[in-house]
Amino acid sequence: MHPAAGLLIAYLAGSIPAAYLAGRLRGVDLRKHGSGNLGATNVVRVLGMKAGITVFAVDVAKGALPVALLPQWVAAPRRDLWAIAFGLAAIFGHVRPVFLLGRRGGKGVATASGVFFALAPIPMVIALTAFTLVFYASRYVSLASLTGAVVLPVALAVTRGPQSPVFVISTLVAAFVFWTHRANIGRLRRGEEHRFGTRAAAPDVAVATATDSGEAGPVDRRIRRRLDDRERRQQPREGR
């Protein structure tokens, strides 16, 4: 297989808009609900945990499978470098999916995680551990994602050395993750970022727009009721 064909396959795999499809199956355009982001976190906020876990698994697989499977079919030297290239193509596909005409997809964290799980599993486990600790301590998904993006290159530098191509790419991906989270960073600095699992964590784009215009469709009302129910379930827990 020509490397260009592998890049195309990886990009198309990354472009599969799992979050968008999950929303459409429920009659919801997630770009207009919750945070408006096509990522697993917003799926959990709007559609629930089961849908969010499914979307997260698909997004991780979109990054891992091209890296793990495509290099063995490439008729070119340095298949390790082509594995990295396929991973970058998958991440780009997730962020700018062709199936949504190149419009904004997700922020790339889950797909990048899949890429590095395939490229460097032990450093990725270290980064995932850092993500988990920060998330449970703060309930900020964005802060945990940024922490994981920083820890991964450090772990790669220790385990593989700074000359490793995977380390170099991890630093570029970390910078990209910071760029895609620039709005979250601003909210964190101002103390306005929303914690996961609370009503404040799900500012509904469509409902806010409908409120401004004085109109709300049946889907908007259904999503708002779901968020209201989630807030009521949260209140006794917060009171303890």
* 83-99 per-position pLDDT tens digit: 999 999 999 999 999 99
Question: How many domains would you assign to the chain?
Answer: 2
Confidence of residue 103 (pLDDT cuts 50, 70, 90): confident
Question: What is the average pLDDT across 198-219?
Answer: 47
In a domain, 144, yes or no: yes
Rounded Cα distance between 121 and 181, Å, is 24
Judge if 165 and 110 occupy the same domain: no
Q: Given CA atoms 14, 117, 109, 18 in this order, what sign does their dihedral have?
A: positive
CA–CA separation, 178 vs 132, rounded Å? 18
Q: Are 169 and 176 in contact (CB under 8 A)?
A: no
Q: Two tokens at 129?
A: 């551990």
- On the question of pLDDT at 216 being above 70, the answer is no
Tell me the longest C-alpha to C-alpha distance in the chain: 62
Q: Is there a single domain that holds both residue 109 and residue 145? A: no
pLDDT of 240:
47
Identify whether residues 77 and 182 lie together within a single domain: no
160 assigned to some structural domain: yes
CA-wise closest residue to 119 among 80, 62, 175: 80
pLDDT digits (tens, 9 = 90+) for 218-233: 555 566 666 566 556 5
Greater confidence, 34 or 236?
34
The answer on 114 and 188 residing in a single domain is no
Task: Give percent helix, percent strand, percent coil of the chain, each to the nearest 5.
Answer: 75, 0, 25
Give the Cα separation of 141 and 5 in Å (integer): 35
Residues 101 and 185 in one domain: no
In a domain, 172, yes or no: yes
Residue 209 pLDDT more than 50?
Answer: no
What digits encode the pLDDT tens for the residues 184-201? 999 999 998 888 876 544
The answer to whether residues 128 and 16 belong to one domain is no
Residue 125: which domain range? 120-201
Domain boundary among 119, 143, 170: 119
